[in-house]
């Protein structure tokens, strides 16, 4: 078995172990949430006997470890269970919501990744110039504000004042593509402003770090232009850290959309999880949290593998 295959197998085993630990933390954390789904369904005027009967019907009277292993056994069989609030299958609830979240993440990634890489390359090419300082100030300013603040600023100007985009991103799978893109423009732009700074600064730092290498100096002594040196010599050797930060930010685009989805009332997985927390719908909260955790683990695993594959020094360690 090759070293790459062994490394992938080790990363997969570690990812599964982490996912199991995360599932345990999710279950314990959700179990400690204040409130009770039975009281939420029956109302505050329900008698203690009626609440106790509903808890027995929903299986909430069982010990915590029994409920955990029942939930884990269902997950291993591909069964997320049933929503306690509306009795619908959780897989049916999260199916469309997950696709909406992935659509928003893909749109934001298509916008942010090229912009970040181009700005990083230009900032490294014109290091310490006015352009470099301006880009750093703008990106650091955008990342210093929380997502909800950036979202409300965009709503105030691009929706309320100019009326270019809707303030509520209500989308449906049956909508035409252009209409969906118009609806998700503001949340996608919010996510773009948040993640561009990380990727741009890492691209700039990785390339500048390589510009002091002997082979870069030799290329400059041979008369190569600075853009050619950066694109053909520095960038390929800087791919490992750049890929790592890009993939991690892609994970954020999927996992970190909860606040953005709530601000724009976007029908995604984050909005579903927040609504389920308010209803004390524990199985739905657990399923959404586990999906977010699994996505983050898979993308981090992909970042590790791609970083090693693009760096021969990591593929053949001494």
Residue pLDDT, tens place only, 209-268: 877 778 777 877 787 877 787 777 777 777 777 888 888 888 888 877 888 888 888 888
* Residue 73, burial from CB neighbour count under 10 angstroms (0-12, 13-18, 19+): exposed
Q: Kindly report, residue by residue over 142-173, the tens digit of the pLDDT.
A: 878 888 888 888 888 988 888 888 888 888 77
Residue-level pLDDT at 227? 77
Confidence of residue 318 (pLDDT cuts 50, 70, 90): low
Q: How far is residue 165 from each of residues 154, 158, 182, 227, 303, measured CA to CA in Å?
A: 10, 6, 7, 38, 34
pTM here?
0.82
* Partner residues linked to 89 by β-bridges: 82
Ordered alpha helix ranges (H), 211-263? 214-221, 226-229, 235-237, 239-255, 258-263
Write down all domains in the chain, each with its CATH number in brackets.
90-315 (1.10.3720.10)
**In this structure, what token pair is assigned to residue 84?**
């306690």
Q: Please state, in angstroms and rounded to a whole number, the distance separating the CA atoms of residues 311 and 37.
A: 51
At a CB cut-off of 8 Å and minimum separation 6, what does 179 contact? none
Percent of the chain past pLDDT 70, that is, above it, reads 94
Confidence of residue 315 (pLDDT cuts 50, 70, 90): low
Residue-level pLDDT at 317? 54
Percent of the chain past pLDDT 90, that is, above it, reads 1
């Amino acid at each position: 078995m090759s070293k790459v295959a062994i490394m992938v197998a080790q990363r997969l085993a570690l990812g599964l172990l982490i996912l199991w630990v995360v599932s345990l933390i999710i279950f314990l954390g959700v179990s400690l949430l204040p409130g009770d789904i039975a009281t939420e369904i029956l109302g505050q005027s329900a008698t203690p006997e009626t609440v106790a009967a509903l808890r027995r019907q929903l299986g909430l009277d069982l010990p915590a470890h029994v409920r955990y292993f029942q939930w884990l056994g269902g997950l291993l069989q591909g069964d997320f269970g049933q929503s306690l609030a509306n009795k619908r299958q959780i897989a049916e609830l999260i199916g469309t919501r997950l696709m909406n979240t992935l659509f928003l993440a893909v749109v934001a990634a298509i916008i942010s990744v090229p912009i970040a890489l181009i700005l990083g390359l230009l900032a490294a090419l014109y290091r310490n110039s006015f352009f470099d300082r301006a880009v750093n100030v703008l990106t650091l300013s955008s990342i210093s504000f929380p997502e909800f603040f950036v979202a409300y600023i965009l709503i105030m100007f691009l929706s309320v004042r100019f009326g270019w985009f809707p303030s509520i991103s209500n989308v449906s799978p049956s909508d035409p593509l252009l209409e969906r893109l118009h609806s998700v423009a503001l949340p996608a732009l919010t996510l773009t402003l948040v993640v561009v700074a990380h990727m741009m600064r890492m691209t700039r730092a990785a390339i500048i770090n390589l510009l002091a290498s002997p082979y870069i100096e030799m290329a400059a002594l041979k008369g190569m232009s600075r853009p050619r040196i950066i694109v053909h010599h520095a960038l390929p050797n800087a791919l490992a850290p750049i890929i790592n930060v890009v993939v991690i930010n892609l994970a954020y685009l999927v996992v970190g959309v909860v606040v953005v989805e709530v601000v724009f009332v976007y029908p995604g997985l984050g909005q579903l999880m927040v609504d389920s927390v308010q209803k004390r719908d524990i199985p739905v909260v657990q399923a959404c949290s586990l999906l977010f955790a699994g996505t983050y683990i898979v993308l981090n695993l992909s970042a590790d593998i791609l970083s090693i594959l693009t760096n021969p020094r990591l593929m053949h360690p001494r």
